[in-house]
């Protein structure tokens, strides 16, 4: 949690967060990908927990989850791979996934494992707000974990204010109500972004979903502290035989 706060304090704009599915493209690539992302100036990483039914994700991330699961990735194995995470990576790392794997692992065990390996925050799109507030907020915070809430174009101002009040990390502004990886980017969303920006929230915001190139990254940075890129990065890793080169080439395209 503290690394997330520090990242926003030290960099007032242009934050770049990259999403990558754990165990993709190969089972043991996770730490190498994380190391290369930091080496190329990425400010934050969202590490996806592979799941068989990722409802918020488009075909590219769905396929990455399928490949990672076929590779043998599990949540237990992921924590084993991350045991030396903080010897290699210093930037904030968040886990993003769905409730089912966390429930099977056990909420308390999950939070404890996150704390042990140095995870800074959690993004669980299907965790109901009332459940978090009533049952899990104290558990997450006691293990130093920020819970990141998603905001969509349909989220009311009243709910955004409530999310802002509960936030201890940042608010994730979903660019549209579709799944990830749409081809048409984030054009036509300025009114929504401006509405949120005008609310002068206490929490910083990052814009994600369908950020795919330098143009969409710059648009996101205009209305928030930065951008989150997932599908486009995973696509760049697809079939890669040289992770270092693939990461370097992709970040150059964005920045």
Question: pLDDT by residue (tens digit) across 62-94?
Answer: 999 999 999 999 999 999 999 999 999 999 999
- Catalytically active residues are 46, 57
- Identify the pLDDT of residue 55: 73
- Identify the pLDDT of residue 176: 77
3-state helix, strand, coil in the chain (%, to 5): 50, 15, 40
Domain total in the chain: 1
Does the structure show a pLDDT above 80 at 240? yes
**Which helix (DSSP H) or strand (DSSP E) does residue 236 occupy?**
helix 231-237
- Identify the pLDDT of residue 241: 86
- Identify the pLDDT of residue 177: 66
- Identify the pLDDT of residue 180: 53
For residue 173, give Cα distances in angstroms to 188, 197, 210. 15, 11, 11
- Identify the pLDDT of residue 189: 80
Average pLDDT value over all residues in the chain: 93
- Confidence tier at 182 by pLDDT (50, 70, 90): low
32: domain CATH number? 3.20.20.70
- Identify the pLDDT of residue 138: 97
Question: pLDDT by residue (tens digit) across 23-61?
Answer: 999 999 999 999 999 999 999 999 999 998 867 678 999
Give the rounded percent of residues in the chain with a pLDDT score beyond 90.
88
What's the mean pLDDT in 144-165? 96
Domain that holds residue 199: 2-254
Does the structure show a pLDDT above 90 at 18? yes
Q: Which two tokens stand for residue 78?
A: 């992921």
Question: Which sign, positive or negative, has the C-alpha torsion 67, 145, 81, 230?
Answer: positive
Q: Is 201 helix (H, G, I), strand (E, B) or coil?
A: coil
For residue 141, give Cα distances in angstroms to 82, 120, 122, 128, 137. 20, 10, 11, 17, 6
**Which helix (DSSP H) or strand (DSSP E) does residue 207 occupy?**
strand 205-208
Question: pLDDT by residue (tens digit) across 184-224?
Answer: 556 568 899 999 999 989 999 999 998 999 999 999 999 99
Distance between CA 27 and CA 108 in Å, rounded?
A: 26
Distance between CA 196 and CA 192 in Å, rounded?
A: 7
What's the mean pLDDT in 227-253? 95
């Amino acid at each position: 949690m503290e690394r997330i706060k520090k990242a926003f304090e030290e960099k007032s704009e242009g934050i770049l967060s990259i999403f990558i599915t754990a165990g993709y493209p190969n089972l043991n690539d996770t730490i190498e990908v994380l190391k290369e992302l930091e080496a190329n100036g990425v400010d934050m990483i969202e590490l996806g927990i592979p799941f068989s039914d990722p409802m918020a994700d488009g075909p590219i991330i769905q396929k990455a989850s399928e490949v990672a699961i076929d590779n043998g990735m599990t949540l237990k194995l992921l924590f084993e791979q991350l045991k030396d995470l903080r010897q290699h990576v210093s930037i904030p790392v968040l886990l993003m996934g769905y409730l089912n794997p966390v429930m099977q692992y056990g909420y308390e065990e999950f939070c404890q494992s996150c704390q042990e390996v140095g995870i800074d925050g959690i993004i669980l799109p299907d965790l109901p707000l009332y459940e978090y507030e009533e049952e899990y907020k104290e558990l997450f915070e006691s293990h130093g974990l920020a819970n990141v809430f998603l905001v969509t174009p349909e989220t009311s101002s009243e709910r955004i204010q409530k999310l802002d009040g509960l936030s201890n990390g940042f608010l994730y502004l979903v660019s549209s109500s579709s799944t990830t990886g749409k081809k048409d980017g984030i054009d036509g969303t300025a009114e929504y972004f401006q509405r949120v920006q005008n609310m002068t929230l206490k929490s910083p915001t990052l814009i994600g979903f369908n950020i795919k190139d330098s143009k969409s990254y710059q648009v996101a940075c205009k209305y928030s502290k930065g951008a989150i890129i997932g599908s486009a990065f995973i696509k760049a890793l697809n079939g890669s035989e040289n992770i270092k080169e693939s990461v370097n080439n992709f970040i150059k395209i964005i920045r």
